[in-house]
Amino acid sequence: MSLFGKKERLIVIDGLWNKNPISFLVMGICSALAVTVKMQTALIMALGTTFVLSFGCMAVALIRNYIPSNIRIIVQILVVSVLVIMVDQVLRAFFFDLSKQISVFIGLIITNTLVLGRTEGYAMNNPPWPSFLDGLGNALGYSSFLLMISALREIFGSGTFFGFPVVPHFFYQAGYINNSIMVLAPGAFFLLGALVCIHRMITGHREEH
């Protein structure tokens, strides 16, 4: 078994595209709606989730044979919470201004269904390395949706990208106004639905009943 052979690559690609958690599993929707008004918060959320999910899956996989099955969910949440608190503490120490804005969202990673979904659904039954890759792939798949939604929402809702104005001034003079629905929750719902639809049209995925 190689460290990064065909099988391992497939695990990552599955999470990123073939079985994208947001589009395919419809997981982690709440945070995809909550933190996507601005690129900056979405990016931090994406980085935080990627770290927590990949290492959380690996840690759960490492101890999977010792976890008593009747308390396994609690143990998984414990592992995830430890990682989330670590991220929060490090942000507080080294990126104080950022942490003042987003520490509320960082705490939300614990409740992200995606995290528990992957630790319970994959890491409990697989060795550490594939579990790490599975977590990484899913986190990247989740992040890509997050970043796409927030890019569209910020550009059309606030006329900025990472806080920099991108809509030219003469647009506004010609009567263009920012679409405020993009800043509100419905904008995120519409975009999310549209992106899931496009993704499913390309991959040909259908829900089975």
Partner 1 sequence: MVNKESRLYPFIFAFIICSIASFMLASLSLKLKARQEMNVTLDVKRHIFDVLKLTPPLPKDVLPELALKIFNEKIEQVVLDASGNIVPGKKHEDIKEGEALYPLFIYREGGKVQGYCFPIKGKGLWSMLYGYLAIQPDGKTVRGISFYKQGETPGLGSEVESLGFQQNFEGKKIWDDALSQVEPVVVAKGKVSDRIPKEKWPYYVDGISGATMTGKGVTALLDHWIRVYEPFFQKQH
Is residue 86 a contact point for partner 1 (CB under 8 A)? yes
Q: Does 164 bind partner 1 (CB under 8 A)?
A: no
**C-beta closer to partner 1: residue 97 or 208:** 97
Residue of 2, 5, 6, 94 that binds partner 1 (CB under 8 A):
94
Q: How far apart are CA 164 and CA 201, in angstroms?
A: 33
Select from 134, 115, 135, 147 the least CA-distant residue to 46: 147
Q: Which of 13, 34, 73, 75 binds partner 1 (CB under 8 A)?
A: 75
- Binding test (CB under 8 A) with partner 1, winner from 26, 78, 197, 202: 78
71 interacts with partner 1 by CB under 8 A: yes
**For residue 153, which of 42, 14, 10, 50 has the smallest C-alpha distance?**
42
> Applying CB under 8 A, which of residues 3, 70, 204, 208 lies at the interface with partner 1?
70
Give residues with Cβ within 8 angstroms of 183, minimum separation 6.
37, 153, 157, 158
Show the DSSP H helices in 63-127 as ranges: 72-94, 96-108, 113-121
- Chain residues that interact with partner 1, rule: CB under 8 A: 63, 66-68, 70-71, 74-75, 78-79, 82, 85-86, 89-90, 92-94, 96, 100
